[in-house]
């Protein structure tokens, strides 16, 4: 992510939700469970709720799965200097500076070397 992408993620988290963090709601009759879909097939869904617990629901157990359009992260409302410092801190964690992107790790080629 560039610094401008980090800023956008903080100020408008709904603009781009990272894979694995899109929320879903699983409806079981009158009950609803919200969280993150961790494993999903045509036959079941494994849901991680906000307390970290994993729940497995089979196709016959639920009536609907709703894809939520909003990020679970609230938008940051920060003073300009706090926003600047937070973005600088987050950028420094990965060595990103204004306008740079985080390099993707290189994929190993060939056979792994044994030590």
Alpha-carbon gap, residue 78 to 5, rounded angstroms: 16
Measured CA distances, 64 to 24, 32, 45 (Å): 10, 9, 11
- Residue 5, pLDDT score: 85
Burial classification of residue 115, based on how many CB atoms lie within 10 Å of its CB (0-12 exposed, 13-18 middle, 19 or more buried) = exposed
**pTM of whole model > 0.85?**
no
In order along its 115 residues, the chain shows pLDDT tens digits of 788 888 898 999 999 888 888 899 999 988 999 999 998 888 999 999 999 999 999 988 899 999 998 888 899 999 999 998 998 888 888 776 655 444 554 555 555 444 4
Domains of the chain: 1-17+73-104 (no CATH), 18-70 (2.30.30.100)
CB count within 10 Å of CB 50 equals: 10
Q: What is the pLDDT of residue 106?
A: 56
């Amino acid at each position: 992510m560039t610094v401008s992408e980090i800023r956008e993620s903080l100020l408008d988290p709904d603009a781009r939700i990272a894979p694995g963090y899109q929320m879903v709601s699983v409806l079981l009759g009158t009950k609803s469970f919200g969280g993150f879909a961790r494993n999903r097939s045509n036959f079941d869904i494994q849901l991680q709720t906000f307390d970290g617990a994993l729940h497995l629901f089979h196709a016959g157990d639920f009536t609907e799965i709703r894809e939520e359009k909003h990020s679970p992260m609230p938008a940051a409302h920060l003073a300009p200097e706090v926003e600047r410092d937070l973005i600088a801190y987050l950028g420094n964690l990965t060595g990103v500076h204004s306008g740079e992107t985080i390099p993707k790790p290189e994929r190993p080629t060939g056979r792994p070397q044994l030590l």
